[in-house]
Amino acid sequence: MDFVVLKTYDNYVSAHIDKGRLEEEGINCWLKDEHSVTINPVLTNAVGGIKLMVVSSQSERAAGILRTLDNKNKASHPCPKCNSLNIELVSTPRKASNWFSAIMGLFLTSFAPKIDLVYHCFDCGYEYPQEEKT
């Protein structure tokens, strides 16, 4: 069987959630580089993240399933400023604590620092935490 990369992840939780959803639909899939990234998160960028591998003949159906789930998630978190659904959950480098953690982590540990995640609206540019409701 030929497998293709359907999606990449920076953490194993999201990867396993999507893998489980696809398996429920009968899609043959597995996670590549999961153990490398889980054991040493600093390697995430070096290996290209955790890759969700799907049988090539099922890739279009699998992509459609994940796209539908992603659209449902976005619909539950519209931008509180402009009500747009053109949003994405992103890491924010704007806080001083994120930069401080990254610098200290570089010198003192081999673990990636915890970063803050916010929803970013690509229509109005507003960023808001996951907890904020409209």
List, for residues 74-105, the tens digit of each pLDDT value: 888 899 999 999 998 887 666 666 667 667 66
Q: Which residue has the tokens 């696809």?
A: 22
Question: Which residue from 35, 129, 134 is spatially nearest to 89, judged by alpha carbons?
Answer: 129
Question: What average pLDDT does the structure give for the chain?
Answer: 85
pLDDT tens-digit profile of 63-75? Answer: 999 999 988 888 8
Confidence grade of residue 134 (pLDDT, cut at 50, 70, 90): very low
Q: Residue 105 and residue 113: Cα distance in Å, rounded?
A: 6
Average pLDDT over residues 24-44: 91
DSSP summary character for residue 10: S
> What is the distance between the alpha carbons of residues 113 and 40, in angstroms, rounded to a whole number?
12
